[in-house]
Amino acid sequence: MIRQTLLSLLVATAAGGVLVLAPPGQGKPAAPLTAGVAWPQAQRGNVPALLADGSAYTPAWFLDARTSIGTALTRDGAYLRLLIRRPDGSLRQLRRLPTRANPSFSAVTADGGVVAWAEGDGDLRPQLWAAGLRDRRAPRRVTADMGEARFYQSEFDLVIAGGRVRWVAAGRYGTTEVRSIALTGGAVESTSEPGTWQLSAWPWLVDGVTSGSGATTLKNLVTGQRQAVPGDPRAVTNCGPRWCRAVSLTEDGALIRLIRPDGTGRREVAAGSVETIVADVGALDRLELYAETGGNADYSGNVRLMAYDIAGKRTVQISPDAANVTYRGGMLWWSTGTQDLFLRHSLDLRTLR
């Protein structure tokens, strides 16, 4: 998204180190807890970068810490596949599209035993498809009428709620279309909202997706309620219905703060050589995920993957050397290693105690 790109460029050009406050009487700041110590019972998994046939595999959604949905080319490179990869390495192919058409699976979501995704090629608008996770029936096309669908690398790009799949599309004259269709098919329903919006946790929309300063308003699509969110002209703001994240530049790098949409609960998450790492705010309304840069990270290209525990007001280090960090639907995954030899790791945030 534009505001995240702007922030990354600004943070990358700022000098400084991580600001950590040391307890009184100690010369060095205390090291943060590691995830293994903070959450010993959490479910974790490792996902090899390659399938058994040698094809590179990219997860798009995790059903649990060891079962994922992702993409891989066929061994001959002729098709791009959408697959379910099970813990034992076995695969279920959901779809495959010829690579000559420049295909993509641009958004994936799963809920209630159903997986839904948007697929398309370089010439066609995306189509919405779905399949059951507990049966072997062939996937079905739900609709080819997705409009000018917009996806923002958010877990809410596609939302399954109330038996319907929901997404946003660009409308006419600077409006946003909020579209939905029953999982069983039928007609697409669409409403129009002035401005540029994206879906958040259902039934909320948030604006500011293309604004340099970020979000200003949340809207409940069921009740019509509108919530103005705290603004800061010095910060880039992003919001969900429970928390907003404000990121501003400082002399030492950047400052990441959280505040509730009604203006209460303000707190500092991290400062110094830090940056946002995922699009969505407040994973499961429990953790704010971010990255520490600088030091060895400047040479490796990887970052220290961190989480701020909102209720516990503590910082937890998830990985000291992470790349390709993604969060969707309560699952966090990242890779360690080099671009040529790496391993993906997963952490089910829904299982934290």
Give per-residue pLDDT as tens, 24-36: 444 455 678 999 9
Query: What letter does residue 261 receive in the DSSP assignment?
Result: T
Rounded Cα–Cα distance for residues 69 and 138 (Å): 16
- Predicted TM-score (pTM) of the model is 0.89
- Predicted local distance difference test score (pLDDT) of residue 77: 97
The Cα-based distances of 309 to 236, 239, 267, 302 in angstroms read 21, 17, 11, 22
Q: Are 231 and 216 in contact (CB under 8 A)?
A: yes
Rounded to 10 degrees, the C-alpha dihedral 314/318/322/323 comes to -80
As for how many domains the chain has, the answer is 1
159-170: per-residue pLDDT in tens?
Answer: 999 999 999 999
Mean pLDDT of 327-334: 98
Mean pLDDT of 82-105: 96
User: For strand 287-292 and strand 274-276, is the pairing parallel, antiparallel, or unpaired?
Assistant: antiparallel
113-171: per-residue pLDDT in tens?
Answer: 999 999 998 777 899 999 999 988 999 999 999 999 999 999 999 999 999 999 999 99
Q: Are 159 and 151 in contact (CB under 8 A)?
A: no
- Predicted local distance difference test score (pLDDT) of residue 17: 33
CATH of the domain at 166: 2.130.10
Residue 87: both structure tokens together: 């813990």
- Predicted local distance difference test score (pLDDT) of residue 207: 96
pLDDT band at 231 (very low <50, low <70, confident <90, very high): confident
DSSP string, 10-51: HHHH-------PPPTT-SSPPPPEEHHHH-TT--EEEEESB-
- Predicted local distance difference test score (pLDDT) of residue 80: 98
Q: Are 185 and 176 in contact (CB under 8 A)?
A: no
Q: Which range of residues forms the domain containing residue 301? A: 2-351
Beta bridge pairs of residue 168: 150, 178
The Cα-based distances of 152 to 26, 114, 175, 210 in angstroms read 44, 22, 16, 10
Residue 167: partners with Cβ closer than 8 Å, 6 or more residues away? 107, 118, 128, 146, 149, 150, 151, 157, 158, 159, 179, 180, 199
The Cα-based distances of 204 to 4, 119, 222, 301 in angstroms read 21, 25, 8, 35
pLDDT band at 297 (very low <50, low <70, confident <90, very high): low
158-214: per-residue pLDDT in tens?
Answer: 999 999 999 999 999 999 999 999 999 999 999 999 999 999 999 999 999 888 889
